[in-house]
Amino acid sequence: MPDAAMSDVVVDGNVLRVEALSVAYPSRDGWLHAVDGVSLSIAPGTVLGLVGESGSGKSTVVLALLGLLGSSARLRAERLEFDGHDLLREAAALRGRRIGVVFQDSAATLNPALTVGTQVVEPMRVHLGTKRALAWQRGIELLAEMGIPRPAEIMRSYPHQLSGGMKQRVGIAAALASEPDLLLLDEPTTALDVTIEAQILSLLDRLRTMRLEGGRRLAMLLVSHNLGIVDRLCDSVSVLYAGRLVESGTTANVLQRPLHPYSKGLLAALPRVDRQHAGRLAPIPGRLPDLWAPDPGCNFRPRCAFASAGCEQPQRVTGDHHKVRCHRADTIVDIPWPIERATAAAQPRSAVPLVEAADLSIRFDSGGWLQRLLGESAGILAVDRVSLTIHSGEVLGLVGESGCGKSTLGRLLLRLLPALDGTLSFAAEPVRAKPDARFRRQAQVVFQNSDTSLNPRQTVGEILGRAIRWFAIANVEAEVMVEVGRLLDLVRLPRSYARRYPHQLSGGEKQRVGIARALAPRPRFVVCDEAVSALDVSVQAAVLNLLRDLRDQLGVAYLFISHDIGVIAHIADRIAVMYRGTIVEEGLADDVLRPPYHPYTELLLSSVPLIGRQRDTDPPPAARPPAAGGCKFADRCRFRLGPLCDSVPPPLQAAGPGHRIRCHIPLPQLAGQPHWLDRGETT
C-alpha cells in the first residue's frame, strides 16, 4: 500500500500536494501500472527534482498533473491538489494558465507552421485576455528575459530558423507567458549540447528567484534522468523506480548520502569527469520489473546488491526529512554499491599506429543545382584537415558538440564517406578510396540507435550469422552457430538470445547485439558512434564496462565518439576535442582534463553539471559567424587575444608528450588557468 507519509518536506503552504497517485494504462496483457502510489509536494519558490530512468513513470506523473493522460488511463489519488484546487476535476482549467509546462525536445514541441511570436503570445491572449499589441510587446520582453538576442526579430521567425537552445528558451517563455505558479519541466535540457544545457540551467536557476506579480513565487517540478542537473537546480529530490518512490529528501542528503540501494546504484553507475578515470563503473544488473504484475514487495529486489530476507514484504517508508522505502536502509547506510571486478588483464599496446589519418577533409555542398551552376554554393568543410593516430588496443575518445563533425570523421576513418582530401592508412598500409573486404573486416562500427540499426525481421542469430558468413569467418551452419555462441558469450548475453527478435530485447541488450555484430569479423578497429548515448545510466555503465573488457581481452582499438565528456573521460586513453571540423586539442586523457587546456575544452568541462558543484557563470553564446581564416572558436572564446585570433589560423602547440593544443594563447597562460573543478565557486 502507498504511504501518505512520503509527502511534504514543507508542511504548510504547498502549492502542489500529491498523495498516493496511481496511474494504470490498459493493454493487451492487462493493466500496466505505470505509477504506483506516488506522493509529492512542492512549496512556492522551491524546486523538486523527480529522478528516474526510462520506464520509471516520471513523465506519466507530469501528464497526470495536467490531466492529459487520455481517456483510457485509470487515474487514482488520495489527493491531487494544486493551490486548493482538485486537479482530478479542474486540471483542464488550470493547465497552461496556472501550471506551465516545458517538454523535452523543443524541436518537436514548437509548432513548425506558426511563428515564435504566435506561440508565445497565444497563452496570454487565451488565458489572460491580453490585447494583441500588448501581448506582442510582452512577448518581446519575455524573450529578452529568457536571454534571446534580437527578440523582436525572433518573434517573427519560425521555429526551424532557431538553434536548439533558442527553441528551448522560446518553449520556456511560452510556458511562462500566462504567469503560472507552477512550472513543470520534463527533461528540459535533454538532447541539448552541454554548453547550451548550462545556459538553460542558469536561466532556470534565475527563474527560481524571480517573483511573480503579487509577490508569488514560482515553484518548479524538474523531471530528469540527469543527476547533475537535478543537483544544480533542485532543493529536494524524489527518486522514482518502476512507478514507485524509493527515496526522497533534500538534494544534498539524497545525492551525497543516498540511502536506498537504487539511488546508490544510480550514483555509482554515473561516469563522471571529476572521478578518477580508468576505474570501473558499477552497473545495476538486470532490467526494469514487469509493470503488469507489480511485486507486492520491493520491486527493485531482483536487481539489488543488498537484497535479503524481508525484501519480499511490502516496504514501508521510514525517516522524517530523508525518507526511504527500504527495510535495510539502516544496515547498509555506509556500504557503497559494489563494483564488478575486471575480467582480464590489459594487453600491451603496440608502438606502431593502427589507424593513421593525415589531413582528412570533407565538404558538404549545400543548395541545389541552380546555385551550384551560379557558383553561389560554398558548402561546409565538415571535417577540416584532421590528422590523428590510433594504436592497437587504444581508446581514442572524440568529444565535441552536435554538428562539430565527429560522426563524419568516424565515417571518414572507415571510408564510409569519400574524403575530399588527405590520406588514411591502416596497419601501415594505405587504404584506398574504395576499400577492399580485408579493410572492411578489420574496421567495424557500432551506431547509437540499435533500434534502427538491427533488422526487426531477423533474429539475433540471423543478424550475427549474416555478418559471420558475409566476412567468411564460417560458412557451414554448425560452425556459424558456434561462432554466434562465441559472440553472445563475448557480450555477456545468454546463448538462447540467438532465437530472439530485436523487439524482445531491452535497450542495453540491443546495443550488446550491435557490439557483437561489429565484433563478428574479428576487427582490430571499431568506431563507436555515440554507442551508449541512448542508454539509461545503469545500463550504460554495463555497456561501457563491456567495451573496456573487450578492449583488454581482444586488443581492439576504438574511436569512441560521444558528446558526453563524462563518458569519454571514463573510457578513453587519449582524448581529441573537436570543434567545427577541427581537432583543437589532443592528448592523454589525464592531460586533456587538466590545465593547460584549450579554451573550448575548458568551456566543455566547466559546463558539465556535476553533483556537488555550484556554478553560475554563463558561457558566452555563439554570437557571430566565425571569421574566415582565423581560429574557429574565437567568437565564443573567453580568452580571445584580439584581431590575431580572428584572422590568423592558430598554431598547434606542444604542451607535453603527445599533448597538442591548437591555440594562439601562449602555453604558460593556458597552464595558469584554474582547474575547471575549482572555477565555479570563485566566479
CB of 115 to another protein, least distance (A): 8
Closest to 225 (Cα-Cα) out of 106, 54, 67: 54
User: CA–CA separation, 522 vs 579, rounded Å?
Assistant: 32
CB closer to another protein out of 28 and 457 = 28
User: CA–CA separation, 157 vs 114, rounded Å?
Assistant: 9
CB closer to another protein out of 218 and 239 = 218
CB closer to another protein out of 94 and 431 = 94
Is the backbone peptide bond immediately before 271 cis, with ω within 30 degrees of 0? no
User: What Cα–Cα distance (Å) separates residue 118 from each residue in 99, 110, 122, 139, 176?
Assistant: 20, 11, 6, 9, 14
CB closer to another protein out of 100 and 599 = 100
CB of 178 to another protein, least distance (A): 8
CB closer to another protein out of 161 and 614 = 161
Cell 555509482 sits on residue: 268
Q: Are 245 and 262 in contact (CB under 8 A)?
A: no
DSSP letter (8 states) at residue 346: P
Q: Are 253 and 321 in contact (CB under 8 A)?
A: yes
CB of 135 to another protein, least distance (A): 14
CB of 642 to another protein, least distance (A): 26
Q: Are 271 and 567 in contact (CB under 8 A)?
A: yes
DSSP 3-state assignment of 587? strand
CB of 371 to another protein, least distance (A): 8
CB closer to another protein out of 111 and 256 = 111
Rounded (10°) CA dihedral 70, 76, 82, 85: 90
Closest to 349 (Cα-Cα) out of 394, 298, 301: 394
CB of 615 to another protein, least distance (A): 24
CB closer to another protein out of 161 and 423 = 161
Q: Are 434 and 516 in contact (CB under 8 A)?
A: no
CB closer to another protein out of 68 and 342 = 68
Amino acid at site 619: P
User: CA–CA separation, 391 vs 525, rounded Å?
Assistant: 9
Q: Are 71 and 281 in contact (CB under 8 A)?
A: no
CB closer to another protein out of 376 and 479 = 376
| Grid cell for residue 233 | 537546480
Query: Beta strand pairing status for 395-399 and 574-579?
Result: parallel
CB closer to another protein out of 60 and 444 = 60
CB closer to another protein out of 138 and 594 = 138
User: CA–CA separation, 233 vs 203, rounded Å?
Assistant: 10
CB of 36 to another protein, least distance (A): 24
User: What value, to the nearest 5°, has the Cα angle with vertex 561 and ends 560 and 566?
Assistant: 85
Question: Cβ neighbours of residue 320 under 8 Å, at least 6 residues apart?
Answer: none
User: CA–CA separation, 262 vs 239, rounded Å?
Assistant: 9
CB of 361 to another protein, least distance (A): 24
DSSP letter (8 states) at residue 259: -
CB of 142 to another protein, least distance (A): 14
CB of 161 to another protein, least distance (A): 4
User: CA–CA separation, 469 vs 360, rounded Å?
Assistant: 32
By the criterion CB under 8 A, which residues form the site for another protein? 66, 68, 92-97, 100-101, 103, 105, 108-115, 122-123, 126-127, 148-150, 153-154, 157-158, 160-163, 166, 171, 174-175, 178, 368, 370-371
CB of 592 to another protein, least distance (A): 31
CB of 140 to another protein, least distance (A): 14
Rounded (10°) CA dihedral 525, 527, 531, 537: 60
User: CA–CA separation, 593 vs 548, rounded Å?
Assistant: 20
CB closer to another protein out of 155 and 273 = 155
